[in-house]
Amino acid sequence: MGDEDEAREMDNQANDVFLGQVLAQLRSVTDRVEQLTQAIESRDVIGQAKGILMERYQLTPDDAFALLVACSTQSNTKLACVASRLVTSGSLQGLTKG
């Protein structure tokens, strides 16, 4: 193999390493975008659930959120799932105004 071939091979290897790093970063960014999208969706449904509780029980936003958190903790269910259940069904099983 001549010097030019060796140099070309080294360039190809360096390019492969660089492309691997770029792809890893792209995967990381894509994962982060998916996480943020899910967080925004969760935030929206939690806000809707808070609004339902605020209207239904004349609660402050903080008290409505605390009620959702208490239900989430009590049922060992993610907060977004508890909120979604309230938004879609209109009720939270086992949840009473304290």
The answer to whether 57 and 97 are in contact (CB under 8 A) is yes
- Fold classification of 3-89 is Arc Repressor Mutant, subunit A (1.10.10)
- Whole-Å CA distances, 82 to 4, 20, 52: 65, 40, 13
Of 4 and 71, the one with more pLDDT: 71
Q: Is the pTM of this model over 0.85?
A: no
d(CA 43, CA 31): 18
Confidence of residue 98 (pLDDT cuts 50, 70, 90): very low
Structure confidence by residue, pLDDT tens digits, 26-73? 999 999 999 899 888 899 999 999 999 999 999 999 999 999 999 999
Question: pLDDT > 90: what percent of the chain?
Answer: 64
